Amino acid sequence: FFLMNKLISNISKIGWRFDNTYARLPEIMLSRIAPLPVKDPKLVIFNHNLSKELGLDFSVVEDNLLPSIFAGSLLPQESECIAQAYAGHQFGYFTMLGDGRAIIIGEHLTKNNKRVDIQFKGSGKTPYSRNADGRAALGPMLREYIISEAMHGLGISTTRSLAVVTTGENVIRETPLPGAILTRVAASHIRVGTFQYVTMQDDIKTLKTLFNYTINRHYPELKDSNNQALSLLKIVMEKQIKLVTDWMRVGFIHGVMNTDNMTVSGETIDYGPCAFMDNYNPETVFSSIDQHGRYAYFNQPGITKWNLARFAETLLPLINNDKDKAIDIASKTINSFGTLYKKCWLEMMRKKLGLLGEDSKDENLIIDLLSWMHQNKADYTNTFCFLMNENIQENKIYNNQGFISWKQQWQERLKLHNNSPEKSLKLMCSVNPMVIARNHKVEEVLKEANNGNLNPFNDFLKVLEKPYEKQTKTNNYQFPAQSSEKKYQTFCGT
């Protein structure tokens, strides 16, 4: 009894501040369920930096208790475990879904009152698991950890990873694999698919409840809007345009842009078949199940618009009581996507090239470079590094006459708008990473981690924390994979 009280006391000193508002929503939107016990949890990796950002101090508990905390065996007193219900268009087909292997233990308030979901991924079956086991394998959880933290380092809006533990039990996929649980941190897990789920219930009261909750949680500044629903659609569209433009900036391919993987907060979520592009090819697809390139690199803006149109459909009853008027209003907003995205994309590409101001020939200059990169199979990341005067090995490709001719045009453009070499370089260095989570390097460190060696994983993470800076070990991660006839594929790893 004394030891139990001491244990509870120590856990309470970690600094959790739970205020679980989503759990107060209508019961149809969630299920109350606790994580399933695991056999022998062991801590694999813990994010000390994120812990500090959250205002949490796990040093107050014994190290041997950390695995139980992140496996869900020792839950904070104020936690309130739920699995969320949602729906989604997966590869264009609608289906009812939900947190089949994830449980939110509560909403934590940081010291500056920022609200975040704390979620266990791989914590066991829920009412939404269907025929799945609700568990996760170590490899995919470590993959989400490293890529979500890489995205954070790149300055791209994303969910974060706090910890990974092994469960001491195997999960059965094609072969037995070590089971694991990821602790994920997100601004929220409200998705386009959450609104789709409520819309399918044909319950306007619950829709209004979810809508008001979303406004209160994420966009309280919209409360004074004359048409809050339309304003929500517009601001979510702005967030998603910014997000996908950032993906395009670094050559990131999400791989599974279903509506249940689009958050209203504008965070990148779910890192299953995602990957980074080496050689520039707009048709690049890595996902093993994306046979027709629906979520290919160059299709990401169009799919974002498509997903936003599905979001708009859910808001129609709140935009205007007259359905025809609501459709007309929403359509005008969605149809403005192309113009807004192009403006955002051009601004981003100008920064990558260090161009100040605007010039009527900028778009052609940008497209000519991308076309040359595509035709010559140039590395996307390293080409911009080369333009920043970085000494990239194996750079003979840049002796190509086509590139030299383009570079001369670019250098003439750099002289406009009171620009200087110093200004251009500073601008380019702010948006062009020296290093990304290259796929072959991710696979290398995951292979070592699965064999119990976390050193390469941690070394890679360290470099990915500051991708825009030249670091001692940067060169080790700058080279694309060697040419191979075998196509690199990613999977929705469960």
The residues annotated with a catalytic role in the active site are: 260
Q: Enter the tokens of residue 57.
A: 């101090």
Q: How far apart are CA 432 and CA 383, in angstroms?
A: 10
Q: How far apart are CA 250 and CA 430, in angstroms?
A: 12
Contacts of 448 (CB under 8 A, 6+ apart): 454, 455, 456, 457
In single-letter form, the type of residue at position 38 comes to: V
- HSE-up (13 A, CA, CB side) for residue 13: 11
User: What string of H, E and C letters represents the secondary structure of the chain?
Assistant: CHHHHHHHHHHHCCCCCECCCHHHCCHHHEEECCCCCCCCCEEEEECHHHHHHCCCCHHHCCHHHHHHHHHCCCCCCCCCCEEECCEEEECCEEEECCCCCEEEEEEEECCCCCEEEEEEECECCCCCCCCCCCEEEHHHHHHHHHHHHHHHHCCCCECEEEEEEEEEEEEECCCEEEEEEEEEEECCCCEHHHHHHHHHCCCHHHHHHHHHHHHHHHCHHHHHCCCHHHHHHHHHHHHHHHHHHHHHHHCEECCCCCHHHCECCCCECCCCCCEECCECCCCCCCECCCCCCCCCHHHHHHHHHHHHHHHHHHHHHHHCCCHHHHHHHHHHHHHCHHHHHHHHHHHHHHHHCCCCCCCCCHHHHHHHHHHHHHHHCCEHHHHHHHHCCCCCCCCHHHHCHHHHHHHHHHHHHHCCCCCCHHHHHHHHHHHCCCCCCCHHHHHHHHHHHHCCCCHHHHHHHHHHCCCCCCCCCHHHHCCCCCCCCCCCCECCCC
Distances (CA, A) of 246 to 268, 345, 365, 432, 440: 10, 9, 20, 11, 22
- Residue 268 phi, psi dihedral angles, 5° rounding: -70, 130
Nearest to 190 by CA among 221, 214, 165: 214
